[in-house]
Amino acid sequence: MSEGIVLDCAALLERSFEVAAERGGDITPLVFARFFEIAPKAEALFQLDTLDPQARGRMLAEMLTMLVDQARGEGYVGPTLATIAADHVAYGVEDFSLYEAWLDALTDVVRDLNAAGWTPEIAAAWQRQRGQFLSALARKRHQ
Output 48-57 pairs: Cβ under 8 A, ≥24 positions apart.
48/91, 56/28, 56/32, 57/26, 57/28
Say whether pLDDT at 3 is over 60: no
Q: 82 by DSSP, 3-state: which?
A: helix
pLDDT value of residue 143: 58
Q: 4 by DSSP, 3-state: which?
A: helix
What is the value of pTM for the model shown? Answer: 0.85
Output 96-101 pairs: Cβ under 8 A, ≥24 positions apart.
96/137, 96/138, 96/141, 97/39, 98/39, 98/42, 98/45, 99/134, 99/137, 100/134, 101/35, 101/38, 101/39, 101/42
pLDDT value of residue 2: 45
pLDDT single digits (tens) 81-104: 777 776 766 666 667 788 899 999
**Stretch 49-57: mean pLDDT:** 73
pLDDT value of residue 66: 92
C-beta separation of 46 from 102 below 8 A: no
The domain locations on the chain are 3-141
Residue 143 CA: distances (Å) to CA of 27, 62, 100, 131, 138: 33, 22, 19, 19, 9
Domain 3-141 sits in which CATH superfamily?
Globins (1.10.490.10)
